[in-house]
Chains A and B, each alone.
Chain A
Amino acid sequence: MTQRLVTLTDARRSFAGPATGFLGRERPRVQAVAGVSLAIDPGEALGLVGESGCGKSTLGRLVQGLERPDGGTVLVEGVPPTADRRTHARRVQTIYQNPLDVLDPRLKVAEAVAEPLEIHRLGTRETRAERVRQLLRDVELPEDLALRYPHELSGGQAQRVVIARALALEPQVIVCDEPVASLDAPIQRQILRLLDRLRRDLGLSYLFISHDLGAVWELCQRVAIMYLGRIVEEGPKEEIFLRPRHPYTQALLTAIPRPDAPDAPRAPLLQGEPPSPVNAPPGCAFHPRCAYAQEVCRTAAPALTQTQPLHRTACHFVAPRNTTRSQANEE
């Protein structure tokens, strides 16, 4: 196997939760990322799917180097993201959910795209200008937009500017944090196509964070499903979408409307909200909402185990029983 580009090994990140107890002295830790092992290969788009608050954005911030793991390791090309902010910026870049929010309202498009080049003092003024033109061509933006201000752009154009700016430092990995969630459906497809073309042309890797399964299907090769800080299922996208094994994945897929096949057999819909990570349920975190939960699910957390070649699932009733570990051993 080739060198893996991004490796997370049992990565953990917790935050101080809301104050409770007498005089508010006790602040329980909230496990936003509770032991995640994942890897991304060069040129691969990995989709990270989960409900709001499941920790997928925190996972993205770990890879971006904006958070430091307080357990396990996060490595990009063998180096922790938090080691050196400047060199890390040249390996990993980010595109965001709301493009207009991440563009300085007082910088024109060309200035915004040139900003990373200036920060890293790459090239001369002339070569930078040429590079900016090239980048705007790469993201299929007309050249006359270069002198516009962000508020004069549409959402899709602004997202292209953000992508061009992210490409300026020629990163290997781009963390895409819900990059199409704020866009109209046709624009979403354009941006997804653009991202896919850029991945193939430039050999980029994506960590594509989304709750939009359609977007993940379109862009990604591999999918990881996250629930309350853990990966519950991970594998090639065909495996996950067509042969989901974890009840949570099945329920997520059920939530997609299927006008083409209204009578297709479906798993039961999820009830209620995911439990708060402040007091995550013991055992399998999914058991309060799981239709198949048994006694063992309330006491022991299932480990993520290989169920098919390349396909891993964390469920007692998919994985062989003897591979389960109690949560106590795991800590």
Chain B
Amino acid sequence: MSQANAAPAVIAQRRWKRPPVLVLVSFAAIGLLVLIAVFADLLAPYGYRDQALLNRLAAPVFLGGSWDHVLGTDQLGRDLLSRLLYAIRFSLSIAFLGTIIGAILGTFLGLLAASLRGWTGETIMMMVDVQASLPFMILALAVLAFFGNNLTLFVLVIGINGWEVYARLARGAALSVRARGYAQAIYAFGASEWRLYLRHVLPNIAAVLIVQFTLNFPQTILLETSLSFLGLGVQPPLTSLGQMLGDGRNYLLTAWWMAVLPGAVTFIATLSVSLIGDWLRDRLDPTLAD
């Protein structure tokens, strides 16, 4: 009898399955980071470029420092908390913009390759293979070293990273949707390719692309961090997580928190987005859905 009562409850549970705790925590972490990024200038007690050379490498509060600089100061006496808040703003914005650029470019080229199956499509897919076989980090280094560094170029370079994954995914998914009965029926109504792809194919492959976006986002954060760490990314006096990490590297023995704090934030951000991405993939995959 208890089983008979349990059955509807199980069904209801399946339909409104609460995300696992870890995913909820991830959502909270990302929400917090976004809030910090948006309100960095309100939250930061000091400007990120305000130096106080007499108060360099001060320890954070939890290591006996003063409450004037909660997380201590860096080698130029700049407040680490303020720099960290601004770094979150810059790094997240750059990673977000970069991922968006890659997603739009890749999706567009992928759909184009799916609709033009002749030599245009072949060329696009060849570019995808070339991109996939290039060590992108080296290429990014070369481009940034050669053309000099500015923020726009940096964001573009980061955006170009990862487009090939979207292109492949979008093309494959679009071809499979295109072969479905409803796409053919719509085509038989005399719809243009544009309409078919924008109104019918794209919405039906969006789930795949959204998941890819969340999986790609951490990689982009890491790429930004690595390039900034190497000194080819965000340039001083601007700050970013990677740049702070790079600065902190020189003081690991005397002021380890300078490197560990931005490192920890990077870790939390990438892990949270990855967890959300994994969960989303399971949720949006119709073969795994109930």
| Interface set of A (CB-CB < 8 Å, partner B) | 64-66, 85-86, 88-90, 94, 96, 98, 101-107, 115-116, 119-120, 169
Flag if B182 contacts A169 (CB, 8 Å).
Answer: no
Shortest Cβ gap from A66 to chain B (Å): 7
Cα distance A85–B186 in the bound complex, in angstroms: 12
Flag if B190 contacts A86 (CB, 8 Å).
Answer: yes
Flag if B189 contacts A89 (CB, 8 Å).
Answer: yes
CB-defined A-B contacts under 8 Å, sample of 18: A65-B188, A66-B188, A85-B190, A88-B190, A96-B181, A96-B185, A101-B181, A102-B181, A102-B184, A104-B200, A105-B182, A106-B203, A115-B186, A115-B189, A119-B186, A119-B191, A119-B192, A120-B189
Shortest Cβ gap from B198 to chain A (Å): 13
Residues of A within 8 A of B184 (CB): 66, 102
Q: Is B123 an interface residue (CB 8 A)?
A: no
Cα distance A115–B196 in the bound complex, in angstroms: 11
Q: A64's closest neighbor in chain B, by CB?
A: B188
Q: A86's closest neighbor in chain B, by CB?
A: B190
| Interface set of B (CB-CB < 8 Å, partner A) | 180-186, 188-192, 195, 200, 203-204
Flag if B190 contacts A106 (CB, 8 Å).
Answer: no
Cα distance A106–B192 in the bound complex, in angstroms: 19
Q: A92's closest neighbor in chain B, by CB?
A: B188
Cα distance A86–B182 in the bound complex, in angstroms: 17
Flag if A116 contacts B180 (CB, 8 Å).
Answer: no
Flag if B181 contacts A119 (CB, 8 Å).
Answer: no
Cα distance A225–B182 in the bound complex, in angstroms: 29
Residues of B within 8 A of A116 (CB): 189
Flag if A104 contacts B182 (CB, 8 Å).
Answer: yes
Residues of B within 8 A of A102 (CB): 181-182, 184-185
Flag if B195 contacts A101 (CB, 8 Å).
Answer: no
Given contact pairs A85-B188, A101-B181, A103-B182, a sample of 5 additional A-B residue pairs in the complex whose CB atoms are under 8 Å apart? A64-B188, A85-B190, A104-B204, A105-B204, A119-B189
Q: B177's closest neighbor in chain A, by CB?
A: A104
Residues of A within 8 A of B181 (CB): 96, 98, 101-102
